[in-house]
Amino acid sequence: MRRRHLLSMLAPAGLALLASAALSPAALAQGQEINVYSSRHYDTDRELYDTFTRETGIRIRLIEGDADQLIQRIRTEGANSPADVLITVDAARLARAKEAGILHPVQSEVLTSRIPANLRDPEGHWFGVSKRARVIMYDRQAGRPEGLNRFEDLADPRFRGQICVRSASHPYNTSLTGSVLAANGPEATEAWARGLANNMARPPQGGDRDQFRAIPSGQCKLAIANTYYLGGMLTSQRAEDREIAQRIGVIFPNQGEGDRGAHVNISGAGVVRTAPNAAGAQRFLEYLTSPRAQEIFAVGNMEYPVVADAPVHPALAGFGSFREDQLNAGIYGANSAEALRIMQRAGWR
């Protein structure tokens, strides 16, 4: 779960890293490689790349950076871009990449059969490869709050001064609000965002782990956060993190009969429109849905797999099963800009 501290070492153009898998002479003789532009910065992703290279003989040159910077870089490079694959976190960023015209639609029976329709672009420009559930969390010592079963309930005045959350502008929150917008429309969504902002215990700040830490300290009673951050703290080498995480309970919202289900966001990937090695790029995307790759995402990085029957980390399994919102990720991703305007008007900064 540790982020590699590579970004501070990047030159303005980015730093290319060659995946260090042990190759057979036959694989080396192929001389194939793909250039992967990624905004994911997890140690476990290195295992994804190395395993792909061992299995296929296709080497990976990795260029890391901020998602928006990578999208702009590909646009600027134009037809001369070496990028074959773009990987990023959050559907809103994938929607921006598609809108920027930098992704090439892929037709793949492997991808469409393995990835549910709500987790991929209907036109094949991008495909979800892992999931993160964004949920409501509470202090176990205080008990689960009564009447808190849906995201919409967070606007109820009974929860005044209780909620901690990160800033409105973070993609996790704009995508969440984009899903509420799709379900309830703009007027109801703005009323909800205003009620939620009125119920905040403090101004939005920090990351999801900071919201967890604010619960035992008494700053707030509720938090909006992604499950994979809590899973990471539960298995942390730091006793302090584990102690905090063990106090946090999970509510999967909107699980009632006929309700839409809990919001999930994705990490996703697409083939770049000008990819020098489009065939290798598609092969890499298909590999990301393989049993081994899905296990690395799920067990190695506390994310939910996108492929049915793939293993889930025991820490996440301990939160319980849930039904997820079937809204296509592209819809809440495309709604994110309007969602942010609504949130800011409502006082969620």
What is the chain's pLDDT, residue by residue, as a tens digit (349 residues)? Answer: 333 333 333 333 333 344 434 444 334 435 599 999 999 988 889 999 999 999 999 999 999 999 999 999 999 999 999 999 999 999 999 999 999 999 999 999 999 999 999 999 999 999 999 999 999 999 999 999 999 999 999 999 999 999 999 999 999 999 999 999 999 999 999 999 999 999 999 999 999 999 999 999 999 999 999 999 999 999 999 999 999 999 999 999 999 999 999 999 999 999 999 999 999 999 999 999 999 999 999 998 999 999 998 999 999 999 999 999 999 999 999 999 999 999 999 999 9
The radius of gyration of the chain's CA atoms, rounded to the nearest angstrom, is 20
Among 10, 6, 11, 62, smallest CA distance to 33 is for: 62
Among 133, 223, 187, 154, smallest CA distance to 338 is for: 187
The DSSP secondary structure of 138-204, one letter per residue, reads EETTT-PPTT--SGGGGGSGGGTT-EE---TTSHHHHHHHHHHHHHH-HHHHHHHHHHHHHTBSS--
Among 336, 332, 275, 269, smallest CA distance to 77 is for: 275
Q: What is the rounded distance in angstroms from the CA atom of residue 84 to the CA atom of residue 36?
A: 6
pLDDT at residue 31 in the model:
56
Among 101, 142, 159, 143, smallest CA distance to 125 is for: 101
Helix (H, G, I), strand (E, B) or coil at 134: strand
Among 147, 157, 144, 155, smallest CA distance to 188 is for: 155
Structural domains in the chain, CATH included, are 7-131+264-311 (3.40.190.10), 132-261+321-345 (3.40.190.10)
Q: What is the rounded distance in angstroms from the CA atom of residue 337 to the CA atom of residue 194?
A: 17
Helix (H, G, I), strand (E, B) or coil at 345: helix
Beta bridge partners of 62: 17, 36
Residues 88 and 63 sit within 8 Å (Cβ to Cβ):
no
Among 93, 253, 271, 287, smallest CA distance to 172 is for: 93
The DSSP secondary structure of 55-107, one letter per residue, reads HH--EEEEEE--HHHHHHHHHHHGGG----EEEEESHHHHHHHHHTT-EE---
Strands (E), 184-312: 222-226, 248-251, 264-272, 304-305
Expressed in percent and rounded to 5, the helix, strand and coil fractions of the chain are: 45, 20, 40
